[in-house]
Amino acid sequence: MLRTALRNVLANKARLVMTVLAVCLGVAFVCGTLVFAESSAAAYRAAASKDFAGIAVTVTPKYAPPGAGEEAPGALDDALVGKLAEVPGVAAARPAADGSATLNGADGRPLRAGRAWSNLAAAYLPGEDGNDSRHPLVEGRAPRGGGELAVDSGTAAAGGFEIGDMVTLATDGPVLKKRLVGIVKTEDSRVTAGGTLAVFDKATAQALYASPGRYTSIDVSAEPGTDEVELAGRISALLPADRAEAVTGAAQATQQATYTDTLTRGHQKMPMLFAGVSLFIGSFLIVNTFTMVVSRRTREIALLRAIGASRRQVVRCVLWEAVLLGLVASAAGFALGLGIASVLPGLLSTPQDALPDGPLVIGPLPVVAALGVGVGITVLAAWLPSRKAAKVAPIEALRTSEQPPTATASRVRGVVGLLLLLAGGGLLVSLTGAKDASEENLQNAMSGCALLVVAMIVLAPLLAVPVIRLTGRLTGRFGITGHLARENALRDPRRTAATASALIVSTALVAGLAVIGNSTGQALDRQAAAGLGADYVIGSRGGMTAIDPGTEKRVAGTPGVKTAAGIADSTVFTGGGVRRIAGIDPAAVGDVMRLDFVSGSLKDLGPGRIALSATVAREQGVSAGGQVKARIGRNQEFTRYTVVGVYEDNPTAGEVLGSRADVRRDGFLPDSVQRILVRTDGAAVSKTTEDGLRAAAGNSPLVQVKDRQALVDEAAGSLADLLTLMYGLLAIGTVISLLGIVNTLAMSVADRTREIGVLRAVGMDRAGIRRMIRLESVTVAAFGTLLGLTGGLFGAWAVGSLTNGAMKEYSLALPWGTLLLVCLVSLTTGVLAAAVPARRAASLSPLEAVAER
């Protein structure tokens, strides 16, 4: 039987290629993703262990728990360094004074400031040879005194710095300007993976990150043959137990690798999702191909049965064929996957966000996945048709025509499909009344959508007939070719539906995502616009640092600025919850904050009074005129505040509004503002104004100046990912659908050789044949698109109604452009897919009509 299987695999090369391609693509995506994930994790690990190479133990200060009294000066001083160097087994002890610093690039914009954890700063601490081995100089000299700094070569290149430049930077509040005197090299993976490094002289770094004469850590290297853990124990004994601790280098490397890996894990999600979807859609292609292959071989199988092969042998024969094919395809897919894995870092890295370089790491997981996915899915896909094949009665060997599916089978299909549709649709519709996007509701929505997709696939063969009759009205305009194309597509609705299923799924996904994305985007836009009257918002990066109090006045004095309202942000504890409070000057915010009051007004806001958002007011059960007990910021005492008004939820205002005096007094950063809302003359937004505002904020890299569009974009940040996802899915769906349609058409052309010969004999020219095949292909594509669009739009509507509960401004907004693009892409896919089969059909000779079979 194995030999028969092998012969079958090799019998039709074109068919073989198509099926292998289908499996191959799915495997390639999965393997590529897995190998990429493992390789990048390994690269991070390698980089991290390089960071800690030669470090046996690191001593770090231990801080008293907050609130336990005044902080004692750090224990890590030169004396401790000396003491550590004397410990038996220690080769050298090297102190460090590290922290973080954000730099402005030469263009005045914050440099690689998106990831605060990778904006590092360090002290230049020369060893005995006068050089700092952690930061070897490649150009210039080491910084001396407070006015100088060095940066690493990556930072210099990204920021456009040259030696002698003045570099603007900030570590916490104040803006610092230092002259660049040297460029160093660093191996720190956080910096090489898209961070920055600023190097100061010892005194400056100590002042910034520890206290004069103290260090932030001491790295200890061991003499050969010393056990790290034992050494750590010996060192710990020397340390003041409450003020310092010792950690081994290996432990730190692991910790840092895990940390960086977690922070960059987002890179893996998207390709993984693509792999999953392509596999899902691809499995339709595989199932479809095998079904067609088996039904084409009905006579052959019947013959096998007639000459005495048992059902089991037939099933086994088909399964062996699938295993062989799966193995070949998986191997090819694996190779392709390695290719994908090797180009992914290049695609995903940007100068702003670099991935560490490293060799491809091929662990057992991708190999197992490739085999499991490739062989597993192929065998599974072959199993169903193989059972059908085994049921072929020997008498079939004598019959020529295909048997149409029985009425019972389609009735069962109809009932099952309708039940699934009702379940999915019902679940989704029942959610439209939901008030919030809770986890449970979202999960229900997901399962509703999944049910809907399955229902569509089950029902597709039944829907094919009416839908294609409808589209046939359009193709009918092409005369007899259109008529024949329609009838051919209808000939085997199951085959047509299976061919279209890849398009159904991908179109539904893309259309759904596009609609939700577009609606959400517009909602965010409206929301930002609803709450914000300002044209610019100046804020501190991360919100943890304060804006220099003088900034507000300077901003107000900037040309083009009409009003500037400083807002003190903090937190307020009330009713057992922590909420955001914005301290405002009621007179100044009218212009920059758009508030809709449900009751009361801002007029009476002053010390001892607050206004609440509608949600908070509802939860607290108070309305205007009532009182709530609350404490703001670091104030430990609860105070009674009078509620002067309740406003509709507003992202700019936050949950609670208080008087600026109250918040500035009690906030965690007293007497500061965190945001300045700026109204310009005539609501003008320009680069000049922005630069002026940036200058007014002292050009501090820690301060962000954003116009309204930037704020909206930021809120819609995840939508950019959604867009990538959408177009990625569209591309995958298109490629797989293309393969599927080519596959089906090629087979159906082969099936219809004689018919095409007749058409040629009775006078259809080659162009007519080509047009017929193309129209058939487009009909199938249009069917898939139509069904997918319907499903996608319904799903989007249902999920959108759910979102409506959570997002007030949400309303269904159809992205016509994208939907049109989806339709065009699908129809083009149909035309493209038909190219080769159509050419093949057109080249058939009219003699095929009379050929003996």
Partner 1 sequence: MTAAPFDALAPHPTTGFAAATSELSKVYGSGDTRVVALDRVSIAFREGEFTAIMGPSGCGKSTLMHCAAGLDSVSSGSVRIGTTELSTLGDRQLTELRRDRIGFIFQAFNLLPTLTALENITLPLSIAGRRPDQQWLERVVSMVGLSRRLGHRPGQLSGGQQQRVAVARALASRPSIIFGDEPTGNLDSRAGAEVLGFLRDSVRELGQTVVMVTHDPVAAGYADRVVFLSDGRLVDEMAHPTPERVLDRMKALDTHSRTS
Q: What are phi and psi of 851, to 5 degrees?
A: -65, 140
Per CB under 8 A, which region of 455-463, 586-594, 789-797, 840-848 contacts partner 1? 840-848
Pick the closest to residue 61 from 216, 214, 205 (CA basis): 216
Looking at beta carbons only, is 482 or 667 nearer to partner 1?
482
615: helix, coil or strand?
A: helix
Site for partner 1 in 445-504 (CB under 8 A): 479-480, 483-484, 487-488, 490-491
Among 172, 230, 357, 755, binds partner 1 (CB under 8 A): 755
Looking at beta carbons only, is 195 or 493 nearer to partner 1?
493
Biggest CA–CA distance in the chain, Å, is 104
Looking at beta carbons only, is 250 or 750 nearer to partner 1?
750
Query: Can you give the three-state secondary structure of 413-474, one letter per residue?
Result: HHHHHHHHHHHHHHHHHHHCCCCCCCHHHHHHHHHHHHHHHHHHHHHHHHHHHHHHHHHHHH
| N-term to C-term CA, the chain | 26
Burial label, 248 (beta-carbon count in 10 A; 0-12, 13-18, 19+): buried
Looking at beta carbons only, is 75 or 489 nearer to partner 1?
489
Query: Can you give the three-state secondary structure of 108-146, one letter per residue?
Result: CCECCCCCHHHEEEEEECCCCCCCCCCCCEEEECCCCCC
Among 759, 823, 833, 834, binds partner 1 (CB under 8 A): 759
Looking at beta carbons only, is 306 or 758 nearer to partner 1?
758
Among 115, 388, 413, 754, binds partner 1 (CB under 8 A): 754
The count of chain residues that interact with partner 1, using the rule CB under 8 A, is 27
Residues contacting 560, CB < 8 A, separation 6+:
680, 681, 684, 686, 688, 689, 692
**In the complex, what is the shortest distance from the CB of residue 401 to partner 1, in angstroms, rounded to a whole number?**
7
Pick the closest to residue 674 from 685, 663, 658, 683 (CA basis): 663
**In the complex, what is the shortest distance from the CB of residue 351 to partner 1, in angstroms, rounded to a whole number?**
58
Among 296, 665, 766, 839, binds partner 1 (CB under 8 A): 766
Pick the closest to residue 320 from 290, 364, 340, 347 (CA basis): 290
Looking at beta carbons only, is 148 or 396 nearer to partner 1?
396
Site for partner 1 in 201-220 (CB under 8 A): none
Looking at beta carbons only, is 30 or 764 nearer to partner 1?
764
588: helix, coil or strand?
A: helix
**In the complex, what is the shortest distance from the CB of residue 852 to partner 1, in angstroms, rounded to a whole number?**
9
Assess 189 for contact with partner 1 (CB under 8 A): no
Per CB under 8 A, which region of 87-95, 314-322, 650-658, 765-773 contacts partner 1? 765-773
Counting DSSP H helices and E strands in the chain, the numbers are 27, 22
Among 436, 607, 765, 816, binds partner 1 (CB under 8 A): 765
Query: Can you give the three-state secondary structure of 630-650, one letter per residue?
Result: EEECCCCCCEEEEEEEEECCC
Q: Are strands 561-574 and 119-124 parallel, antiparallel or unpaired?
A: unpaired
Among 68, 241, 407, 762, binds partner 1 (CB under 8 A): 762
Spell out the alpha helix ranges (H) of 135-201.
153-159, 189-192
> How crowded is residue 682: how many other Cβ atoms within 10 Å of its Cβ?
9
**In the complex, what is the shortest distance from the CB of residue 771 to partner 1, in angstroms, rounded to a whole number?**
11
Residues contacting 478, CB < 8 A, separation 6+:
485, 771, 775
Among 758, 807, 821, 831, binds partner 1 (CB under 8 A): 758
**In the complex, what is the shortest distance from the CB of residue 753 to partner 1, in angstroms, rounded to a whole number?**
11
Site for partner 1 in 768-797 (CB under 8 A): 768
**In the complex, what is the shortest distance from the CB of residue 5 to partner 1, in angstroms, rounded to a whole number?**
32
- The whole-angstrom separation of Cα 846 and Cα 758 is 6
Query: Which helix H or strand E contains 183, and what residues bound it?
Result: strand 175-184
- The whole-angstrom separation of Cα 60 and Cα 249 is 12
Looking at beta carbons only, is 62 or 766 nearer to partner 1?
766
* CB distance 411 to 439 below 8 Å: no
Looking at beta carbons only, is 143 or 757 nearer to partner 1?
757
Per CB under 8 A, which region of 556-564, 668-676, 724-732, 758-766 contacts partner 1? 758-766
Per CB under 8 A, which region of 184-192, 355-363, 761-769, 815-823 contacts partner 1? 761-769
Looking at beta carbons only, is 681 or 765 nearer to partner 1?
765
- The whole-angstrom separation of Cα 853 and Cα 838 is 22
Among 764, 786, 825, 838, binds partner 1 (CB under 8 A): 764
Q: Dump the DSSP string for 250-303.
A: HHHHHHHHHHHHHHHTHHHHHHHHHHHHHHHHHHHHHHHHHHHHHHHTHHHHHH
**In the complex, what is the shortest distance from the CB of residue 835 to partner 1, in angstroms, rounded to a whole number?**
20
**In the complex, what is the shortest distance from the CB of residue 760 to partner 1, in angstroms, rounded to a whole number?**
7
* Contact pattern for partner 1 over residues 395 through 414, marking x by CB under 8 A: ------x-------------
**In the complex, what is the shortest distance from the CB of residue 845 to partner 1, in angstroms, rounded to a whole number?**
8
Site for partner 1 in 659-718 (CB under 8 A): none
Per CB under 8 A, which region of 285-293, 533-541, 581-589, 843-851 contacts partner 1? 843-851
Looking at beta carbons only, is 299 or 766 nearer to partner 1?
766
- The whole-angstrom separation of Cα 168 and Cα 570 is 28
Residue pointed to by tokens 């500037």: 564
Looking at beta carbons only, is 95 or 757 nearer to partner 1?
757
- The whole-angstrom separation of Cα 151 and Cα 142 is 10
Looking at beta carbons only, is 596 or 765 nearer to partner 1?
765
**In the complex, what is the shortest distance from the CB of residue 427 to partner 1, in angstroms, rounded to a whole number?**
40
Per CB under 8 A, which region of 341-349, 385-393, 651-659, 753-761 contacts partner 1? 753-761
**In the complex, what is the shortest distance from the CB of residue 261 to partner 1, in angstroms, rounded to a whole number?**
59
Cα distances (Å, whole numbers) of residue 529 to 227, 592, 722, 725, 825:
62, 11, 22, 27, 34
Among 760, 770, 771, 840, binds partner 1 (CB under 8 A): 760
- The whole-angstrom separation of Cα 247 and Cα 277 is 44
Per CB under 8 A, which region of 59-67, 304-312, 662-670, 749-757 contacts partner 1? 749-757
**In the complex, what is the shortest distance from the CB of residue 755 to partner 1, in angstroms, rounded to a whole number?**
6
**In the complex, what is the shortest distance from the CB of residue 780 to partner 1, in angstroms, rounded to a whole number?**
15
**In the complex, what is the shortest distance from the CB of residue 490 to partner 1, in angstroms, rounded to a whole number?**
7
Which strands sit side by side in the sheet containing 57-61, from one edge to the other? 90-96, 217-222, 57-61, 244-248
**In the complex, what is the shortest distance from the CB of residue 759 to partner 1, in angstroms, rounded to a whole number?**
7
Per CB under 8 A, which region of 46-54, 131-139, 453-461, 760-768 contacts partner 1? 760-768
Residue pointed to by tokens 């060997």: 397
* CB distance 537 to 685 below 8 Å: no
Q: What are phi and psi of 648, to 5 degrees?
A: -60, 145
Residues that bind partner 1 in the complex, under the rule CB under 8 A: 401, 479-480, 483-484, 487-488, 490-491, 754-755, 757-766, 768, 845-847, 849-850
